[in-house]
């Protein structure tokens, strides 16, 4: 209740209570004195004294209250109002400190706080304006870059509405339209492209729950029936939308189809006469030709037959290599086909080996679903089943059923029909051509029949390796002419750094210890570039001691196929070229690198900074400067599984360095030369540490 009252009213109530307490105390004291006096005639005197004392107390309390209200409570409220005006409104006028001249240092402190707030607000407004201008400039540059990208790029929301598109994308999806429906924001992608392959790819990417997964697919435009090669990638975890890159391959496919038709015709025109000649020579009667001539004819026909066979094999291999097909998990393909058949009213079981198939899953599912419909419509069919099994270097997809076999003629007719109503110009056989394969009927036994579709390339699925970060990496500040070549005068946050760390077989390179892992990251213009990482295992050319393996977890088996020390050092030198090297306890890591300079013909003469010494400059030599202690002080957490791995320690060191830079600048060491002069005072630390 009292908290809702104003400060001045609460002060008044305090003084009113004080006055009432004084009057009560005065009356109580007079009454106590009168009761002990036991003189009836003294009543009048005690009453008069009580009245005078009461009025005097009231006057005194009222006077003190007035002075307190005038010089304390009222100035505090005025000061609070002035501060609130500067906190919540754009008031920049200097605050009058005289309004609270009797409040000691409160008024100057409030004035300083208000001034600091005003300066901070102005600095923030300038920074926001500057950053807005920079972002606007970068946005314009990115738009210019994206507009020049030859491939079409489309960004779609989770409900397949257009969020972004560039000029090539607008040209591709709008080609052949005569209805005036050009590409436009917030329009459905399916107004321009047929939905089925896109929905299939999107659902599969969502099912993988892998933000780095991509799906390659073929799709066609609604108008003009143009064939597009597309790549889809989710924008993030969950149904957050996706980015689609498009390339028109209609002309390429037509050219490829004509080439394949010409090669097939040429091969057929050679294969049949060659077989006929071979048969004719075999049935020639004795003496029809001289024996030498007959032998020579047989040899030439055999050579011709071998040449035709080699030509056919080379065509098949070239056909398989010409088409870049995505990897599809066999279980996904089996489940997808079972779901597609269920939607068509056909119940089918499915089983698949743990394989990764090199195929377009959508096209294979569409083809097999169409053939399953034909089989179902052709007679009494029961117990349809799909099986995907490993065979040699590939796999075999078998769609089997209980019932009659499919004839070769009927299968050829089905393959000549369009794959789907959306693609009338593309027969079902085009899927087989794209995958360089065939499909044929075969008996299974037990009254069952099947269609067998081999996939040329497949491999067993293994644990997925760590995904490679695929990012758009840019820093337009590098275009600024303000960059200086004078290293000593350069600002710390304007230099390019390579932060690195190594894991080794031991702690003494002079006794033959070698690097077993080397990792590095780049820092450009004050930020760590996520996509620029150097991380590799190294074959040390000697056994790794068990005591070292217990620290970093790297075994001899892990580095058996890794590159050697010299090769890795050469690659790392190129990665670090033109940058300042940074490491925690740098002399230890640098000695391993400098030992191989003679082998690779290069010198690691880059400038070097050590975060041990930088920590000493900031915190003083009395502190502990281990990597764990430094990261703990800076609030950087190193996951347990990343500690004592080269890449984990490298990232921690880089993050620590980025936090040390502004702290060094705050101590007056903002340039590389100033920091270098300061760290030389702490060189003894490294000698003690090593």
Instruction: State the catalytic residues.
Output: 644
| 274 close to 304: Cβ distance less than 8 angstroms | yes
The two three-digit tokens of residue 421, written as one number: 């109503």
Q: What are phi and psi of 301, to 5 degrees?
A: -65, -35
What is the strand order of the sheet 448-455 is part of? 348-352, 382-391, 394-402, 448-455, 440-445
Report which of 631, 274, 219, 677 is spatially closest to residue 426, judged by C-alpha positions.
219
Report which of 123, 114, 120 is spatially closest to residue 87, judged by C-alpha positions.
114
- H or E element, residue 174: helix 167-174
Residues 6 or more apart whose Cβ sits within 8 Å of residue 677: none
Q: Give strand ranges (E) for 303-426.
A: 327-329, 348-352, 355-358, 382-391, 394-402
> What single-letter DSSP state applies at residue 151?
S
CA separation for the pair 541, 130 (Å, rounded): 54
What separation, in Å, do the N-terminal and C-terminal C-alpha atoms of the chain show?
Answer: 67
CA separation for the pair 339, 158 (Å, rounded): 22
Which residues face 397 on adjacent strands?
388, 453
CA separation for the pair 640, 650 (Å, rounded): 14
The two three-digit tokens of residue 48, written as one number: 């008069």
The two three-digit tokens of residue 339, written as one number: 């779901």
| 665 close to 492: Cβ distance less than 8 angstroms | yes
What contacts 24+ positions apart, CB below 8 Å, involve 165-173?
A: 168/246, 169/246, 172/221, 172/226, 172/228, 172/246, 172/247, 172/248, 173/221, 173/246
Residues 6 or more apart whose Cβ sits within 8 Å of residue 4: none
Per-residue three-class SS string for 201-226: HHHHHHHHCCCCCEEEEEEEECCCCC
DSSP string, 592-619: HHHTTHHHHT----S-EEEHHHHHHHHH
CA separation for the pair 240, 542 (Å, rounded): 49
Report which of 366, 515, 379, 527 is spatially closest to residue 453, judged by C-alpha positions.
366
């Amino acid at each position: 209740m009292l908290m809702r009252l104003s400060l001045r009213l609460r002060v008044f109530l305090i003084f009113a209570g004080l006055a009432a307490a004084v009057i009560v105390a005065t009356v109580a004291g007079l009454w106590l004195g009168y009761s002990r006096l036991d003189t009836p005639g003294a009543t009048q005197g005690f009453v008069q004294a009580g009245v005078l004392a009461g009025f005097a107390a009231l006057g005194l309390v009222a006077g003190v209250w007035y002075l307190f209200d005038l010089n304390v409570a009222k100035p505090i409220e005025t000061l609070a109002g002035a501060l609130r005006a500067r906190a919540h409104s754009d008031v920049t006028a200097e605050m009058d400190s005289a309004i609270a001249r009797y409040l000691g240092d409160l008024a100057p402190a409030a004035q300083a706080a208000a001034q600091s707030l005003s300066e901070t607000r102005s600095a923030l407004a300038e920074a926001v304006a500057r950053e807005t201008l920079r972002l606007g400039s970068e946005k314009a540059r990115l738009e210019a870059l994206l507009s020049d990208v030859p491939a079409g790029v489309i960004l779609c929301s989770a409900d397949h509405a257009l969020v972004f598109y560039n000029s090539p994308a607008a040209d591709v999806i709008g080609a052949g339209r005569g209805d005036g429906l050009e590409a436009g924001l917030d329009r459905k992608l399916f107004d321009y492209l047929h939905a089925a392959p896109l929905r299939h790819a999107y659902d599969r990417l969502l099912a993988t729950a892998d933000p780095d997964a991509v799906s390659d697919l073929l799709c066609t435009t609604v108008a003009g029936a143009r064939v597009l090669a597309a790549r889809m990638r989710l924008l993030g975890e969950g149904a957050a939308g996706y980015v689609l890159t498009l390339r028109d391959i209609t002309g390429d496919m037509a050219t490829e189809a004509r080439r394949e038709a010409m090669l097939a015709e040429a091969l057929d025109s050679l294969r049949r006469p060659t077989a006929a000649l071979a048969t004719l020579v075999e049935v020639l009667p004795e003496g029809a030709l001289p024996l030498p001539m007959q032998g020579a004819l047989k040899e030439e026909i055999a050579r011709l037959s071998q040449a035709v066979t080699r030509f056919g094999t080379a065509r098949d291999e070239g056909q398989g290599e010409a088409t870049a097909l995505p990897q599809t998990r066999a279980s996904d393909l089996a489940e997808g086909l079972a779901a597609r058949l269920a939607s068509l009213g056909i119940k089918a079981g499915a089983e698949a080996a743990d394989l990764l198939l090199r195929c377009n899953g959508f096209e294979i599912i569409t083809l097999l679903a169409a053939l399953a419909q034909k089989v179902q419509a052709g007679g009494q069919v029961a117990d349809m089943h799909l099986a995907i099994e490993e065979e040699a270097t590939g796999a075999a997809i078998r769609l089997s059923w209980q019932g009659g076999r499919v004839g070769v003629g009927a299968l050829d007719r089905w393959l000549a029909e369009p794959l789907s109503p959306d693609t009338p110009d593309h027969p079902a056989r085009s899927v087989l051509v794209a995958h360089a394969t065939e499909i044929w009927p075969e008996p299974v036994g037990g009254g069952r029949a099947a269609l067998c579709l081999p996939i040329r390339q497949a491999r067993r699925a293994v644990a997925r390796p760590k995904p490679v970060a695929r990012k758009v990496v840019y820093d337009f500040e590098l275009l600024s002419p303000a960059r200086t070549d004078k290293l000593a005068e350069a600002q710390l946050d304007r230099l390019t750094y390579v932060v690195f760390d190594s894991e080794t077989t031991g702690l003494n390179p002079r006794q033959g210890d070698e690097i077993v892992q080397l990792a590095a990251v780049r820092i450009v213009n004050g930020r760590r570039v996520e996509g620029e990482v150097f991380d590799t295992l190294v074959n040390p050319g000697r056994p790794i001691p068990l005591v070292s393996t217990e620290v970093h977890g790297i075994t001899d088996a892990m580095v058996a196929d890794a590159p050697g020390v010299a090769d890795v050092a050469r690659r790392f030198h190129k990665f670090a070229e033109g940058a300042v090297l940074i490491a925690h306890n740098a002399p230890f890591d640098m000695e391993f690198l400098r030992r191989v300079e003679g082998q690779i013909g290069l010198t690691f003469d880059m400038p070097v900074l050590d975060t041990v010494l930088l920590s000493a400059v900031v915190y003083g030599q009395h502190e502990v400067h281990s990597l764990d202690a430094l990261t703990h002080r800076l609030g950087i957490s190193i996951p347990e599984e990343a500690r004592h791995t080269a890449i984990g320690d490298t990232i921690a060191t880089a993050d620590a360095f980025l936090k040390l830079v502004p702290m060094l600048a705050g101590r007056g060491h903002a340039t590389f030369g100033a920091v270098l002069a300061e760290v030389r005072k702490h060189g003894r630390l490294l000698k003690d540490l090593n």
